[in-house]
Amino acid sequence: MTQIKIFDTTLRDGEQSPGVNLNQLEKLEIAKQLERLGVDIMEAGFPASSKGDFEAVKKIAQTIKHSSVTGLARATKSDIDYAWEALKEAEEPRLHLFIATSPIHMTYKLKKSPEQVIDIAVDMVTYAKKNFPQVEWSAEDASRSDLDFLAKIIEKVIDAGATVINLPDTVGYTTPKEYGQMFRYIRENVPNIDKVSLSAHCHDDLGMAVANSLAAIENGATQIEGTINGIGERAGNAALEEIAVALNIRNDFYPYYTNLVLKEIKRTSDLISKFTGMAVPGNKAVVGRNAFAHESGIHQDGVLKHASTYEIITPAMVGIQSNNLVLGKHSGRHAFKDKIEQLGFQLTEEKLMEAFKAFKLLTDTKKEVTDDDLFVILTDIQTDISDIKKYQLKAFQVQYGSHNLPTATVALTTPDGERVETACTGQGSVEALYNTIETLVKENIHLTSFNLSSIGQGRDALAEVHVSMTVNETPVHGRGSSQDVLEAAAQAFINAVNRVFFTKTAEEKQKAKI
């Protein structure tokens, strides 16, 4: 069996999904969960793109010990230098360097001749190798590149010191047959190809990212790049959980394996969905809520008689528990602490007490507290931006009736500590609530999306709200959870506004260091 290394780019390519904007605490939590999942390489970001991304990559590089951390860089010395400063404290500093190789990109984007592109690629790989022991070189838009030119430039960057060669289907254009043939051609026509690993990076514009990735594996790729839940620019990337489970279930056909801990898949999927605000479609393979649901009577009968009649993947394989009831109102602090450690969370004593109080408040109104409920509480507390000045919801009331104009009254404390209160109307309860909060925060706000979902089942289930908006023309998203839908909506709105202050505070702290 051949190992397929997993290169996760959720924190870089995944964050480029429209409307996604993760802060440093959220990125760090995702990185720690990706480490638990067992990814071999995680692309933590693009250090040269912004101060925020630089600091996040640096923090992740300092924290993660069991996965190789990498950062993206264009073929420029300044990008490479930024990446080294961010990654030099990593256990295994790694650089992901790219330059376009397709005729359309070289002509219209780079405005360079093929010979100039080769020279730049060789020079930058040589420069990067002065510091980075591992340099992955990517031929952007490889799937639309001339194969002879591709073979020529790859041979030269390998001689310059590249250790991994990535052949991306950058625009999701190719087919499995074509993509596999490209890998076979490179293996057969690059004389020094045995010195490097071959990697595949596929986008899903035509819905073939996973199929293309598997075709690459069949033709010599030993590293696969993608994201959890398949998120990413445009239609997204290859979904890593689908590839890993496919290799596992169909090991009769694919003699390959990954180091992923499959039972961590669902938890990782949920965490990323929560932080990005991108809901997982119900019919999504492996992690969708319907992946193990059987509606047809014939299917239900078959599953009851023998699960494998219609269920090729067991829920337990990917970390879905059929009964995850764990704690109730009589559970003590010790039991609570043991449970959150089982769930993989590491909280300070202060955060632990805060989480325990939130748990006890929930048990006052919810008899049965599940893993899903704890997951919401713990992720919210773990990524709470409590060390900055922010708006806080103190009280609210909404008056609504089928023949009355909805009216909301809200009391907040401002970042300066002042208590403010007012009331506004709206066409519905949520609009009235949001109009009132917007009046109090005195920021220029434009709401672009509102999503409501249920955590678990039953009438006492937690509600979770995700919003996207612009605050003073800065795109941002927020989330809130509560047993009350309107309270969850209010918390999500305020959370989004506070993220702007979090970013400003982080920038001010960085300037103070300089």
- Residues paired with 257 in a beta bridge: 3
CA–CA dist 149, 263 (Å, integer): 43
The most distant pair of C-alpha atoms in the chain lies apart, rounded to whole Å, by: 78
Write out pLDDT tens, residues 291-300. Answer: 876 444 544 4
Predicted pLDDT of residue 303: 47
| Pick from 387, 260, 380: nearest CA to 319 | 260
Residues with Cβ within 8 Å of residue 245, at least 6 apart in sequence: 262, 265, 286, 313, 317, 318
Q: Which residue has the tokens 């076979």?
A: 184
CA–CA dist 55, 506 (Å, integer): 9
CA–CA dist 410, 433 (Å, integer): 8
Residues with Cβ within 8 Å of residue 410, at least 6 apart in sequence: 393, 395, 396, 421, 422, 423, 433, 436, 437, 440, 490
Structure tokens at 324: 């995850």
CA–CA dist 107, 113 (Å, integer): 7
Rounded to 5 degrees, what are φ and ψ at 61? -60, -35
Write out pLDDT tens, residues 68-81. Answer: 999 999 999 999 99
For the cut 90, the answer to whether the pLDDT of residue 493 exceeds it is: yes
| Pick from 290, 282, 382, 420: nearest CA to 32 | 382
Structure tokens at 424: 């506004």
309 burial (CB, 10 Å; 0-12 / 13-18 / 19+) is middle
Predicted pLDDT of residue 513: 57
| Pick from 154, 153, 204, 152: nearest CA to 179 | 204
CA–CA dist 270, 268 (Å, integer): 5
Predicted pLDDT of residue 294: 45
Write out pLDDT tens, residues 345-377. Answer: 888 888 889 889 888 888 888 877 888 888 888
For the cut 60, the answer to whether the pLDDT of residue 395 exceeds it is: yes
Residues with Cβ within 8 Å of residue 378, at least 6 apart in sequence: 340, 343, 345, 347, 355
- Identity at 349, one-letter amino acid code: E
Write out pLDDT tens, residues 404-454. Answer: 899 999 999 998 899 999 999 999 999 999 999 999 998 899 999 999 998
For the cut 50, the answer to whether the pLDDT of residue 323 exceeds it is: no
- What is the secondary structure of 35-103 as a DSSP string? HHHT-SEEEEE-GGG-HHHHHHHHHHHHH--SSEEEEEEESSHHHHHHHHHHHTTSSS-EEEEEEE-SH
pTM of the model: 0.88
Predicted pLDDT of residue 368: 74
Predicted pLDDT of residue 326: 60
For the cut 70, the answer to whether the pLDDT of residue 463 exceeds it is: yes
Predicted pLDDT of residue 44: 98
The mean predicted confidence, pLDDT, of the chain is 91
For the cut 90, the answer to whether the pLDDT of residue 218 exceeds it is: yes
pLDDT (average), residues 302-306: 53
For the cut 60, the answer to whether the pLDDT of residue 306 exceeds it is: no
For the cut 60, the answer to whether the pLDDT of residue 150 exceeds it is: yes
- How would residue 62 be classed by pLDDT, with cut points 50, 70 and 90? very high
Predicted pLDDT of residue 302: 53
Residues with Cβ within 8 Å of residue 201, at least 6 apart in sequence: 7, 9, 138, 166, 167, 168, 169, 170, 225, 226, 237, 238
